[in-house]
Amino acid sequence: MGRRRKRVYALMIGLLVLALVAVVLLPGVWPPEQSKPPVVPTENNTQNSTIPQIDEPQTPPGQTNLSIRIATFNIQVFGESKRSKPEVMDVLAKTARNFDILAVQEFRDDTETTLPIYLERINMLPGPKYAATMSPRLGRTSSKENYAFIYNTDTIRLLAGSNFTFTDPPEGSTADLFQREPFIARFQAANDPSFDFTLITIHTEPDGTPQELSSLPLALDSARARYGNETDFIILGDMNADCSYLSASEAASLALRNSSFQWVVPDSADTTVKSTDCAYDRIILAGTAQAEYGGSWGIFRFDNEYGLNQSASEDVSDHYPVWVGLDSAR
């Protein structure tokens, strides 16, 4: 009996040793968990994905990836009084964001602080940041004005050092051609660096409109000489090019009316806020800019867009912005 008991004990010890060896060699949980397939992110299940979700660039309404909207806007007597009205500044800020570039005429502020304040209001709104370049104060009288180009930095680049004011009188002449000399700058589309173009903005003297428009090709020649290989030119601004300031016969005699130029805003348009019916504000394409124009243009009726009555609209300006769409892919 003693020997049998010893053999039983020995067998039990052996089985225990085998069990311990199995535990050491086969670690894990008992019973083993069922294996689970990895989580694969799908279009409708990305919450567990470790891959960052990247938003596609958003294109402004009504534009393709290669299109830009360029506008001109005479913001009547834009200075300390107008900028002190929050409801007016709200409309002006929202209006600017409808365009990639906005050429503004009639900053009238001897402290030259209205543009920075306007830009700050634009950039307080959601969306991309805007920047600006401004001309010197211009004019023969004490009532001087600045021009500015305000642009969306996501879609437009100002070519460094390109902005300048037309020299008046021009070299070799003693004739003072413009009340407010044209302001000129060269830009580039951010998403297509090969698409660069030059803007020339002007606010003509109403009583001297025919003479100033006759001289405007000189500003174009100056830009061509300065930029060398540039071929896309857009002339835009408050040209007072209608009604009592420019007759049909005077318009027909302008060099700007020959086949080298394309007037985007027709004579039949009304760009004024008040009861007048005049196409004062114009956009003229020259050079290869004409080939990039597909017929998209408009008058931005901020009164309709933002639900303003007549009085509130006139507080903003006596002009509407006008705009043109250009497509670098054309």
| 86-96 and 114-124 helices, crossing angle to 10° | 70
Is 171 one of the annotated active-site residues of the chain? no
Residue 159 has pLDDT above 80, yes or no: yes
Domains of the chain (ranges plus CATH)? 68-327 (3.60.10.10)
Q: What is the average pLDDT across 189-209?
A: 95
Cα→Cα distances 329→29, 62, 198, 272, Å = 64, 16, 17, 33
In this prediction, residue 6 carries a pLDDT of 46
pLDDT greater than 70 at residue 285? yes
pLDDT of residue 171: 86
Q: Which residues pair with 130 in a beta bridge?
A: 152
Please identify which of the residues 106, 181, 203, 292 carries the catalytic annotation. 203
- Could you read off the pLDDT of 16-35 as tens digits, one per residue? 444 444 444 433 333 333 33
Average pLDDT over residues 114-119: 98
- Stretch 264-284: mean pLDDT: 98
- When pLDDT is averaged across residues 70-82 and rounded to a whole number, the result is 98
Between 327 and 21, residue with greater pLDDT: 327
**What is residue 12's predicted lDDT score, i.e. its pLDDT?**
57
**203 a catalytic residue:** yes
Token reading at 150: 């305000």
pLDDT at 250 over 60: yes
- Where residue 7 falls among pLDDT bands split at 50, 70, 90? low
What does the H/E/C string look like for 222-262? Answer: HHHHHHCCCCEEEEEEECCCCHHHCCHHHHHCCHHHCCCEE
User: DSSP secondary-structure letter at 91?
Assistant: H
Q: Which of 56, 87, 120, 145 is catalytic?
A: 145
For residues 218 and 239, give the distance between their C-alpha atoms in angstroms, rounded to a whole number. 16
Q: State how far the Cα of 270 lies from the Cα of 281, in Å rounded to an integer.
A: 9
Per the structure block, which two tokens stand in for 310?
A: 């007549």
Nearest-10 Cα torsion for 163, 165, 171, 173: 160
Whether the pLDDT of residue 96 is over 60: the answer is: yes
User: Residues of the chain with pLDDT > 70: what percent?
Assistant: 79
- This prediction's pTM: 0.80
Mean pLDDT confidence for 213-235: 97
Q: Minimum mean pLDDT among 56-60, 212-216, 287-291, 295-299: which range? A: 56-60
- How far apart CA 77 and CA 310 sit, in angstroms, is 18
Q: Which of 244, 329, 307, 328 is nearest to 280 (CA)?
A: 244
* Average per-residue pLDDT for the chain: 85
**27-31, 192-196, 312-316, 325-329: which has the minimum mean pLDDT?**
27-31
Q: How does residue 66 score in pLDDT terms, banded at 50, 70 and 90?
A: low
**Edge-to-edge strands of the sheet including 146-152?**
130-134, 146-152, 101-107, 67-78, 322-327, 293-299
pLDDT of residue 193: 87
